[in-house]
Amino acid sequence: MKKSFIKYTGVLLFGLFAFTSCSSDPDSPGLEYMPDMYRSPAIEAYVDYGEVRGRIDENKKVQLTALTPPEFTIPFYGTDSNLVKTMLPYQHLPNALMKNTHGLFNERLSSQDEYTLAAADKINGVAFSEKVIEKGKKIYTAMCQHCHGEKGDGNGPMVTSGAYNGVPNYTEAQRMALSDGQMFYSIYYGKGMMGAHRSLLNKEEIWTVIHYIRSIQYKDYAKTGKIAFTDTTKTK
């Protein structure tokens, strides 16, 4: 009788433990026994390792933990060959003069006029679609409109308020003739008073916002994805 009682009690306790280890959350593994033994906690890139769980290491508090990846390192962007190609390192280098004007330090610089060379890049790195135009509009509104204006005429709030000047009108004929490559180079490295945006937007996003800028410059671009260079109609 005593052995049976112990046996059934053990089964009951095991059943209760198994039941309570379950969770209604489909993404939860439930109650685990010492999970750190077989699944190590992920390293967090921006954690101050000088103070972890209340333990302070004075030596680590003065060391950088988030380091810049080595030069020519290429992040993994999946298996989409078009996306991978788009995100490869940019083939044009910043001009040597930009070291002083745009604060480009510890970088390979070119003595050539890379902006002019970029004029040959006439094909946008991201395929045109209506969804791309929609995404480009969101990026433009958040990152560009405050200076370049809603219509791309250079009359954004930063300009009309008097806080900033010298922003070009990209709906003018001479500005419309810029190639996609020149626009990319200008956004990526910066041009004139505009700083580099490569730390704010990745290459895919830059190409995407260029599609939207084209839709501002050419009234039919948002539908066709093609530029009619004779069309100087401004979007209203």
72-91: pLDDT as tens digits: 777 888 888 989 999 988 99
**Phi, psi for 177 (deg, rounded to 5):** -80, -5
Average the pLDDT over 56-76 and give the result. 74
Full DSSP string of 61-74: GGS-SSPPPPTT--
CATH 1.10.760.10 holds for 81-224? yes
Within the chain, all domains assigned CATH 1.10.760.10 are found at 81-224
pLDDT value of position 2: 58
> At residue 45, does pLDDT exceed 90?
no
Distance of CA 220 to the CA centre of its chain: 28
Question: Residues 6 or more apart from 11 whose CB is under 8 A from it?
Answer: none
Classify residue 11 by burial, with Cβ atoms within 10 Å: 0-12, 13-18, 19+: exposed
| Stronger pLDDT, 13 or 173, i.e. the higher one | 173
Average pLDDT, rounded, for the chain? 82
> At residue 172, does pLDDT exceed 70?
yes
